[in-house]
Amino acid sequence: MISSASVLSLLLSATLATAAIVEPATFASTSFDFIVAGGGTAGTAVAARLSEIGNWTVGLIEAGEYRPDDENILVPQGWNTAPTWGNPTYDWGFNTVPQPNLADRSINIVRGRVLGGSSALNLMGIFLAGATEYDQLEQLGNEGWNYNNTLKYFKKATNMSVAPEYLQIGEHATFNPQYHGNSGPIHASFSSWFSEAMPPLYNAMVNLGFTPVQDGGDGQDAGDVWSPPLSINQDTKTRSYSAIEYYGRNADRPNFHVLTGAQVTKIELSSTPDNNGNLRATGVTYVSGGQTYTASVSKDVVVSGGSIQSPHMLELSGIGNKTILESVGIESKIDLPAVGENYQDHLVNYEQFIVPHSIETWDVMFNPGVQNDTVWQEYLVNKTGPYTSSVNVISYQTASHVTQNDSLLLDWLAELDAQFNASNPSPGRRAMYNIERQRLLPSSQQASVEVYAAPFHAYANDFELNTSYIQISSVPSHPFSRGSIHVNSSDPLNYPRIDLNAWAFDIDRHMMTASAKYCRVIADTDPLKPIIQEYSFPGPNVTTDTEWEQFVAENVMTPFHPCCTNAMLPKDAGGVVDSHLTVYGTANVRVVDVSILPLQLGTHLMGTTYAIAEQAADIIKADYGAA
Ligand SMILES: Cc1cc2nc3c(=O)[nH]c(=O)nc-3n(C[C@H](O)[C@H](O)[C@H](O)COP(=O)(O)OP(=O)(O)OC[C@H]3O[C@@H](n4cnc5c(N)ncnc54)[C@H](O)[C@@H]3O)c2cc1C
Ligand SMILES: *[C@@H]1O[C@H](CO)[C@@H](O)[C@H](O)[C@H]1NC(C)=O
Ligand SMILES: *[C@@H]1O[C@H](CO)[C@@H](O)[C@H](O)[C@H]1NC(C)=O
Ligand SMILES: *[C@@H]1O[C@H](CO)[C@@H](O)[C@H](O)[C@H]1NC(C)=O
Ligand SMILES: *[C@@H]1O[C@H](CO)[C@@H](O)[C@H](O)[C@H]1NC(C)=O
Ligand SMILES: *[C@@H]1O[C@H](CO)[C@@H](O)[C@H](O)[C@H]1NC(C)=O
Ligand SMILES: *[C@@H]1O[C@H](CO)[C@@H](O)[C@H](O)[C@H]1NC(C)=O
Ligand SMILES: *[C@@H]1O[C@H](CO)[C@@H](O)[C@H](O)[C@H]1NC(C)=O
Ligand SMILES: *[C@@H]1O[C@H](CO)[C@@H](O)[C@H](O)[C@H]1NC(C)=O
Ligand SMILES: *[C@@H]1O[C@H](CO)[C@@H](O)[C@H](O)[C@H]1NC(C)=O
Ligand SMILES: *[C@@H]1O[C@H](CO)[C@@H](O)[C@H](O)[C@H]1NC(C)=O
Ligand SMILES: *[C@@H]1O[C@H](CO)[C@@H](O)[C@H](O)[C@H]1NC(C)=O
């Protein structure tokens, strides 16, 4: 048996410098130009880019630890085999309040609590949404936030590797270099192992009208089927993520100070406004080891706590809806009621099917003993096998294709218009609505539903050992409902109140139900159909619309794409930050993470998160004349 720790440390020693993580008191006595609050996917990236300016002193504060040689993070693993999810060493473990439309369930939200944030424990898909989605951000009043720039900064962040020829031919592991970086810090490549169940699934989707393309990340919106790039270093077959690539490689910079195991509790603001009527951030307060410290800052505080905690940090600092803040005893400093509003997340429906046991799937990892040991040795010795892969097949489709009934779609739109008008929307909300609404039109070529697939069971409590499964999952891409995330206590260590407000508009339920039915259509299509031995979950007894509606209400989860809680929009349209990512009413507090998106995107958010961080770094450098 080869020891896993020794192999992994060999794999890693080439790239990682010894990290200089500082003590909390030392950090507090340092005079910073910039402090980044939250060392996640975006925060670590933006801090690293700011520290390229040698005479700027940059501090990064992360609640979790730096774990560069932790195999639970490094070994690519798909779906819920990941030992990090639900584990408090890595995951904050948030839950929504019970959702009345989801059978009163609280929905679990996995969030990274480690240097690198959610990039340390996500499923590693790394790509962008269609070009129109980014251009729509600019149309909403955000100059410079368009596809061209997003692509430029996505490329700056990434380094994509060509797959071996047999995977290009057999598994569609291909890409167009025009749409991927080749020298950025984050490595990307394809799964190195595909289950035999995947080509039939891919070809069933082709038979349903999806177009096989060289690169699904080519800016086209819908209609493609492809094998997605993953943030895996092709040389080492380990996860490439924000902490090791943006920090680990730059840990020797004397001006880059990283404090881990410290939770930011407050941004300190000046008591009087500047000449423009804005408050200035003077420092950041944090708790570490039960002690409270404050570090001072001369330029900006960059809030990068992610979509759940960035609004929370602002509210704890007195920036938010005055009524809500005062109701829990927090002094209001800037009355900005849009903070924590506009919360959107995808919901995902998983369907689980049994395939012949002769087909190897990730389920072998769940069989203790021989099978699991075999694939683990395969990973350690040959860097091959199930432990080198994640999501295998992905596609986006139009509403018209998935519902297969334009008259029904028009009925839903009429119902939606009436419900939306009755909600008394603000002009800003209506502008976003109009963008989302036109996607549903029968004539639209834009993505409304994602379908992705993996060779694995989907339900942790509903599978048999020694059985091979595939899962086909569907995600309506653009929810109309809006939830909120707000402070629930003046104690900064208490979690905020997270209300997804799922399916407040019936269209979201309709689209989920239609998407769920569509996954079974895929399973019933050749050449996949002959290898489907059983509809496992849901079983064959779920067939009518009512049964599907009940099934999705009782079972949907999130693929962990919370966003939009500090929307970048004009202030009077419901904005929290302007297009330089500065919080309204402040001179120097910015937000840099996916909470700044005004609209949910039809994609998984990591690629966009890195692009946001890269673009933000250039904006900040330019604002201080350092570009
Ligand atoms: C399980 C999972 C699977 C996913 N799969 C994919 C995928 O396959 N592809 C894809 O594109 N996207 C995926 N995503 C989504 C993607 O990972 C996230 O959208 C993205 O990483 C968010 O980055 P962020 O910088 O906004 O937040 P995060 O990366 O979550 O960073 C926030 C950081 O701030 C820290 N923090 C928060 N509050 C404080 C505080 N008060 N003080 C100090 N530190 C604080 C947190 O500990 C964390 O490190 C997945 C997400 C999860 C959770
Ligand atoms: C920082 O370095 C730049 C480039 O070397 C220089 O132009 C600038 O004056 C320096 N700023 C300070 C505050 O030293
Ligand atoms: C993006 O770039 C292309 C090609 O350079 C150009 O034709 C297009 O106008 C640009 N779009 C925007 C919104 O700037
Ligand atoms: C890009 O990735 C390849 C493959 O891992 C590596 O050989 C190369 O050095 C990387 N390029 C840069 C600039 O990091
Ligand atoms: C602020 O919060 C209160 C209490 O939840 C709510 O009634 C009010 O509408 C909010 N204000 C704005 C402008 O959203
Ligand atoms: C499979 O093997 C890995 C590596 O030894 C181990 O961490 C994991 O717990 C095993 N899983 C099961 C279900 O035995
Ligand atoms: C590694 O690959 C070789 C060549 O294909 C094979 O013979 C060997 O059994 C593999 N080792 C493991 C541990 O899977
Ligand atoms: C399409 O939807 C309409 C409702 O608008 C319904 O009456 C009709 O039966 C549906 N057609 C099919 C084939 O399901
Ligand atoms: C909803 O409001 C818009 C804008 O006022 C109007 O154009 C539209 O006709 C209304 N639709 C319905 C169904 O009420
Ligand atoms: C697993 O399945 C295989 C064939 O399907 C069978 O030979 C084997 O005995 C099974 N093992 C267990 C532990 O059930
Ligand atoms: C909010 O605070 C109340 C009162 O302290 C508590 O009962 C409730 O559980 C909290 N809710 C959440 C979602 O944390
Ligand atoms: C289908 O069968 C399962 C298992 O017997 C049962 O739990 C479920 O309630 C049934 N669903 C419907 C819609 O009949």
What local confidence, expressed as pLDDT, does residue 415 receive?
98
**Ligand 1, residues at Cβ distance < 6 Å:** 37-43, 61-64, 110-113, 117-119, 121-126, 263-264, 304-307, 309, 313, 560-561, 593-594, 604-607, 609
Q: pLDDT confidence of 18, banded at 50, 70, 90?
A: very low
Residues 560/110, Cβ–Cβ less than 8 Å: yes
Q: pLDDT confidence of 555, banded at 50, 70, 90?
A: very high
What local confidence, expressed as pLDDT, does residue 79 receive?
64
Give CA 602 to chain center in angstroms.
11
Averaged pLDDT, 26-51: 98
What local confidence, expressed as pLDDT, does residue 238 receive?
96
What local confidence, expressed as pLDDT, does residue 371 receive?
75
Q: pLDDT confidence of 81, banded at 50, 70, 90?
A: low
228 sits in the region (left: phi over 0; alpha: psi -120 to 50; else beta) called beta
| H or E element that contains 591 | strand 589-591
What local confidence, expressed as pLDDT, does residue 13 receive?
42
The one-letter amino acid code at 581 reads: L
Nearest-CA residue for atom 3 of ligand 6: 376
CA of 610 to the centre of ligand 11 (A): 34
| Token output for 488 | 């629930």
What local confidence, expressed as pLDDT, does residue 7 receive?
47
| Token output for 293 | 């410290």
CA of 148 to the centre of ligand 3 (A): 6
What local confidence, expressed as pLDDT, does residue 19 receive?
42
The one-letter amino acid code at 118 reads: S
What local confidence, expressed as pLDDT, does residue 20 receive?
63
In degrees, rounded to 5, the angle at the alpha carbon of residue 599 between the alpha carbons of residues 596 and 602 is 115
350 sits in the region (left: phi over 0; alpha: psi -120 to 50; else beta) called beta
Beta strands 263-269 and 94-95 are unpaired
The SS3 of residue 499 is strand
pLDDT digits (tens, 9 = 90+) for 261-286: 999 999 999 999 999 999 999 999 99
Q: What's the sign of the alpha-carbon dihedral 430, 434, 439, 440?
A: positive
**Ligand 8, residues at Cβ distance < 6 Å:** 405, 407-408, 411
Nearest residue to 104 via CA among 112, 96, 114: 96
* CATH 3.40.50.300 is held by the domain 195-210+221-226+348-478+504-557: no
Instruction: Name the closest ligand to CA 540.
Output: 12
What local confidence, expressed as pLDDT, does residue 573 receive?
97
* Higher pLDDT, residue 454 or 9: 454
What local confidence, expressed as pLDDT, does residue 370 receive?
73
Nearest-CA residue for atom 5 of ligand 10: 357
What local confidence, expressed as pLDDT, does residue 80 receive?
57
Give CA 594 to chain center in angstroms.
8
The SS3 of residue 561 is coil
Say how far apart CA 171 and CA 196 lie, in whole Å. 10
Beta strands 334-335 and 497-499 are unpaired
Percentages (nearest 5) of helix, strand, coil residues in the chain = 35, 20, 45
Residues 567/576, Cβ–Cβ less than 8 Å: yes
Any catalytic annotation for residue 401? no
Residues with Cβ within 8 Å of 607's Cβ and at least 6 positions away in sequence, in order, are 126, 127, 128, 154, 157, 158, 217
* CATH 3.50.50.60 is held by the domain 16-191+228-343+484-500+563-627: yes
Residues with Cβ within 8 Å of 144's Cβ and at least 6 positions away in sequence, in order, are 138, 579, 615, 619
Nearest-CA residue for atom 13 of ligand 10: 466
* Residue to mutate, 374, 379, 381, 388, ligand 7, most ligand atoms under 8 Å from C-beta: 381
What local confidence, expressed as pLDDT, does residue 560 receive?
97
Q: Where are the domains of the chain?
A: 16-191+228-343+484-500+563-627, 195-210+221-226+348-478+504-557
The SS3 of residue 586 is strand
CA of 353 to the centre of ligand 8 (A): 28
Any catalytic annotation for residue 561? yes
| Token output for 23 | 């003590």
The one-letter amino acid code at 258 reads: V
Nearest residue to 154 via CA among 113, 211, 215, 92: 215
117 sits in the region (left: phi over 0; alpha: psi -120 to 50; else beta) called left
User: H helices within 274-384, ranges in order?
Assistant: 306-316, 322-327, 370-377
Nearest-CA residue for atom 13 of ligand 7: 378
Task: Please tell me the pTM assigned to this model.
Answer: 0.96
Averaged pLDDT, 441-469: 94
Averaged pLDDT, 403-432: 97
What local confidence, expressed as pLDDT, does residue 326 receive?
98
pLDDT digits (tens, 9 = 90+) for 565-622: 999 999 999 999 999 999 999 999 999 999 999 999 999 999 999 999 999 999 999 9
| Token output for 549 | 């509606």
Domains 16-191+228-343+484-500+563-627 and 195-210+221-226+348-478+504-557 share a fold: no
Specify the residue for token string 């060289």: 214
Nearest-CA residue for atom 10 of ligand 12: 541
Ligand 6 in reach of 366 Cβ (< 6 A): yes
Averaged pLDDT, 499-503: 98
pLDDT digits (tens, 9 = 90+) for 345-401: 999 999 999 999 999 999 998 887 777 889 999 999 999 999 999 888 999 999 999
Specify the residue for token string 């619309």: 545
* Residue to mutate, 378, 379, 388, ligand 7, most ligand atoms under 8 Å from C-beta: 378
Which atom from ligand 7 is nearest to the alpha carbon of 380?
13
Q: What is the DSSP letter of 355?
A: E
Taking the CA atoms of residue 335, residue 308, residue 190 and residue 519 in that order, the dihedral angle to the nearest 10 degrees is -110
Q: Burial-class residue 177 by CB neighbours within 10 Å (0-12, 13-18, 19+).
A: exposed
Please determine, for residue 540, whether its predicted confidence score (pLDDT) is greater than 80.
yes
In degrees, rounded to 5, the angle at the alpha carbon of residue 134 between the alpha carbons of residues 128 and 140 is 155
Say how far apart CA 200 and CA 179 lie, in whole Å. 27
What local confidence, expressed as pLDDT, does residue 391 receive?
86
Residues 375/385, Cβ–Cβ less than 8 Å: yes
The SS3 of residue 214 is coil
* Furthest-apart CA atoms within the chain: distance in Å: 72
Nearest residue to 467 via CA among 566, 368, 355: 355
pLDDT digits (tens, 9 = 90+) for 83-138: 899 999 999 999 999 999 999 999 999 999 999 999 999 999 999 999 999 999 99
Q: Please state, for a pLDDT cut of 90, what percent of the chain lies above it.
A: 92
Q: From the annotation, which residues make up the binding site for FAD?
A: 114, 264
Please determine, for residue 17, whether its predicted confidence score (pLDDT) is greater than 70.
no
Say how far apart CA 387 and CA 375 lie, in whole Å. 7
Q: Please state, for a pLDDT cut of 70, what percent of the chain lies above it.
A: 96
CA of 611 to the centre of ligand 3 (A): 17
